[in-house]
A and B are shown apart, each in its own frame.
Chain A
């Protein structure tokens, strides 16, 4: 069961384009911040550079969700809820492991991976429930 709107794949294509654009800017900004030789003002600009594209991504995702029918919205809502709870659990466990000095500081970038993987898990659970 793909994330499809009821009428066309147009919104999905737009979502993927904006997602790739935002990811490219994120990677570019991160690459620039890793380079030495820039002043503090330039570094602030690089740090804030991804905001517009990521806000556009949020807007496109919200628009795409609103175009889904009620059933698909229901499925994705369950997937988001499961992803949210599992991510919170994972962060909590990671924090405890950190206190036990088993792992190092949490890399914020890893949170995206947690969220994406757990969203996938939640989606599969929701789809199987309604099959």
Chain B
């Protein structure tokens, strides 16, 4: 799963620590998600999306074509 966190965060001029504070997680969580090393559960995905005023689909991109075909 890919995400646009880094781009959206840059647009807002937020640091990783600031974003972490806003969504209520550790900075390590933001770093791991941003680097694509960790896929967040739905509650965190929604929190991250809402922090930017976006939908989950705007922030996270599911790339598995087989699931989309279903």
Contact = CB atoms under 8 A, between A and B. Distances in A.
A129 interface: yes
Say which size band chain B's interface belongs to: 10 to 19
A70 B41 contact: yes
Interface residues of A, number: 14
Interface in A53-110: 68-72, 74-75
Given A68-B26, A70-B43, A71-B28, 8 more contacts: A4-B26, A69-B44, A70-B40, A71-B25, A71-B38, A130-B32, A130-B38, A131-B37
B64 to A, nearest CB: 21
Contacts of A75: 28
A6 B25 contact: yes
B33 interface: yes
Contacts of B37: 129-131
Nearest to A69: B25
A6 to B, nearest CB: 5
Contacts of A72: 26, 28-29
16 contacts: A1-B28, A4-B26, A6-B24, A6-B26, A68-B26, A69-B26, A70-B25, A70-B29, A70-B41, A70-B44, A71-B25, A71-B32, A71-B38, A71-B40, A130-B37, A131-B35
Nearest to B33: A71
B20 interface: yes
A75 B32 CA distance: 11
Nearest to B20: A6
Contact of A74 (B20, B35, B38, B43): B38
Contacts of A131: 32, 35, 37
A56 to B, nearest CB: 26
B39 to A, nearest CB: 10
